[in-house]
């Protein structure tokens, strides 16, 4: 129901919801400073009611959610039995209802799955996308924020720090420090009340997200994605909560193995003023090297400080010092990688090596 958005009627709006209002780079600074909102009304909203709502989510997904206090935000993943990510949900409970904020096109499928898995639990699952719109901001929640049960529906992104039970593979300083992003739910028939609020487009938000190494379902996921590849254990996985779908793979890769791929931030040569689209091949070496394909771009943007940047998933074995090349609109663009998930991620268990049969100890 994006047609209900008031933002698409603003002067200079491009897209619905608007990608920008005429200055996608200039809109990033006021957004980052908390002086603008972003229309995300194409995103989905799912609700769970009933006394067993958090118990159901906790039993199926990767985050520890039983006892989630009203107004406290969380993030969780639904994995398939092999540990691959199927759905990502931003979770907020108001004491009566659990609200799941989800990327566009994913809510209905997740709601249907949860409804099938209720069995004897006292839970009612509903798709509330037609009634509620999502608004993004780095500042205070908009005055029209819904609070049907007395708790403002404001989800605060837990990416800013490693959550209880989580684990971070990234080393050194993390660009999410100070990350204050949040999403508020607004009843769609009240979106007009935000018509005069300063606004930024989705491209501005995307640039800030990429710079913060923040993974997102709509861009980073493919059919084989597992949480470790994106450092998603830091915000959406509780490693000691107990059993859930895919938990065995999560534990095995984290303790004994390594994720087959890893997320990197690419700093792109901006000489030709082009950006690689999602799925663009990442190759080893400079443009004239014709190197092997080692990965794919998931998202790209022009950042107001970093210039052209992209997130990409590359093979774990790719040397962090290697020069890379990506194709953008027919142009081969040199790229330097900044490590997000290091090649050695995983294998955290201190398992003693057993000498080979017949080996001589020295």
Give me the pLDDT at residue 355, please: 55
Tell me the average pLDDT of the chain.
Answer: 94
Give me the pLDDT at residue 9, please: 79
Q: Angle, to 10 degrees, between the axis of helix 53-60 and the axis of helix 107-116?
A: 100
Give me the pLDDT at residue 8, please: 79
Find residue 39's DSSP bridge partners.
135
Mean pLDDT by 10 residues, the chain (362 residues): 64 94 97 98 98 98 97 98 98 98 98 96 98 98 96 98 98 94 98 96 98 98 98 98 96 97 97 96 89 97 98 97 93 96 93 53 43
Residue 103's SS3 state is coil
Instruction: Choose among 321, 318, 317, 300: nearest CA to 309.
Output: 300
Give me the pLDDT at residue 362, please: 42
Please write the tens of the pLDDT for every residue from 323-347: 999 999 889 999 999 999 999 999 9
Map out the domains of the chain with their CATH numbers: 2-236 (3.30.1360.120), 260-339 (2.40.30.110)
Q: Mention every residue, 6+ apart, whose C-beta is less than 8 A from residue 196.
A: none
Write the DSSP string, 214-260.
---HHHH--TT--GGGGTTHHHH--TTS---TTHHHHHHHHHT---S
Q: Any alpha helices (H) in the chain, and if so which ranges?
A: 28-32, 53-60, 107-116, 202-211, 217-220, 233-236, 247-255
Find residue 331's DSSP bridge partners.
328
Q: What is the pTM of this model?
A: 0.94
Burial class (CB in 10 A: 0-12, 13-18, 19+), 67: exposed
For 126, 310, 329, the CA distances from 19, given in Å and listed in that order, are 29, 17, 20
Burial class (CB in 10 A: 0-12, 13-18, 19+), 54: buried
Give me the pLDDT at residue 297, please: 98
Secondary structure E strands in the chain: 37-39, 44-49, 73-79, 85-93, 97-102, 124-127, 132-137, 154-156, 182-187, 199-200, 261-268, 281-284, 293-303, 307-315, 323-328, 331-339
């Amino acid at each position: 129901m994006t047609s209900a958005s008031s933002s698409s009627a603003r002067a200079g709006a491009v897209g619905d919801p608007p990608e920008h209002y005429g200055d996608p780079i200039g809109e990033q600074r006021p957004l980052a400073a908390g002086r603008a909102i972003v229309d995300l009304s194409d995103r989905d909203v799912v609700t769970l009611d009933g006394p067993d709502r958090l118990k159901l989510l906790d039993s199926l997904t990767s985050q520890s959610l039983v006892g989630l206090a009203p107004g406290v935000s969380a993030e969780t993943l639904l994995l398939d039995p092999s540990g691959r990510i199927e759905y990502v949900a931003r979770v907020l409970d108001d004491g009566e209802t659990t609200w799941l904020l989800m990327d566009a096109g994913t809510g209905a499928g997740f709601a249907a799955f949860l409804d099938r898995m209720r069995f004897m639990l006292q839970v009612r699952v509903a798709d509330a996308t037609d009634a509620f719109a999502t608004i993004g901001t780095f500042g205070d929640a908009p005055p029209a924020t819904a609070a049907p049960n007395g708790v403002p529906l404001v989800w605060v992104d837990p990416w800013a720090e490693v959550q209880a039970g989580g684990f971070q593979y990234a080393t050194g300083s993390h660009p999410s420090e100070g990350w204050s992003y949040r999403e508020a739910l607004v009843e769609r028939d009240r979106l007009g009340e935000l018509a005069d609020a300063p606004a930024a487009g989705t491209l501005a938000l995307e640039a800030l997200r990429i710079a913060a190494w923040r993974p997102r379902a709509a861009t980073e996921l493919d059919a084989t994605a597992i949480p470790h590849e994106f450092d998603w254990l830091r915000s959406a996985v509780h490693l000691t909560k107990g059993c859930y779908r895919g938990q065995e793979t999560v534990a095995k890769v984290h303790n004994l193995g390594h994720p087959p791929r890893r997320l990197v931030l690419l700093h792109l040569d901006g000489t030709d003023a082009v950006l690689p689209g999602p799925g663009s091949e990442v190759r080893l070496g400079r443009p004239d090297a014709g190197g092997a394909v080692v990965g794919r771009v998931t998202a790209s943007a022009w950042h107001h400080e970093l210039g052209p940047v992209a997130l990409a998933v590359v093979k774990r074995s790719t040397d962090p010092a290697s020069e890379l090349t990506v194709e953008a609109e027919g142009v081969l663009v040199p790229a330097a990688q900044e490590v997000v998930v290091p090649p050695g991620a995983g294998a955290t268990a201190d398992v003693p090596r057993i000498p080979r049969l017949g080996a001589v100890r020295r």
